[in-house]
Structure 1
């Protein structure tokens, strides 16, 4: 898990990678949920976003589980192993986090 933070804009990008032996055990969801909490409550961020390749539904299902909303797809946004891949972006703003009662 990592979070790239822009203090100027009070936003951060959430990123994660989970090894295949650990898929489906809820580790990424729990860690992402805690990172979101840390970002809004401790770092006082206003926005957190994340992206995943559209062919990786496991990744963006985590984003949905932690309350992020789909914001759009960027066609052929990254070049990975010689193939252009589409990215789907998800995000959340602090007011939605508070409204959804996700505050600890």
Structure 2
């Protein structure tokens, strides 16, 4: 099979864009509770703040205020649920 000289750069660009999209598209909240508990406090706070945001990559001032409260809730919840992923957790009121 013969590939033209013009096709090679196009294939490389396509492969590179696919890799960038995959890398940028990963959700920071795709961590288990066990992984969360092993992270430094500042990173736990960042993840809790992102979790509270409507869009995980667009944190608002209100999300930053809510972050510490969510971090404390994760620290209560996660030891008993090590395999649960943060992105799967939902808030419920009783």
TM over 0.5: no
Q: How high is the TM-score relative to the length of structure 2?
A: 0.29
Which structure has the highest helix share of the two? 2
| Higher Rg of the two aligned structures | 2
Whose strand proportion is higher, 1 or 2? 1
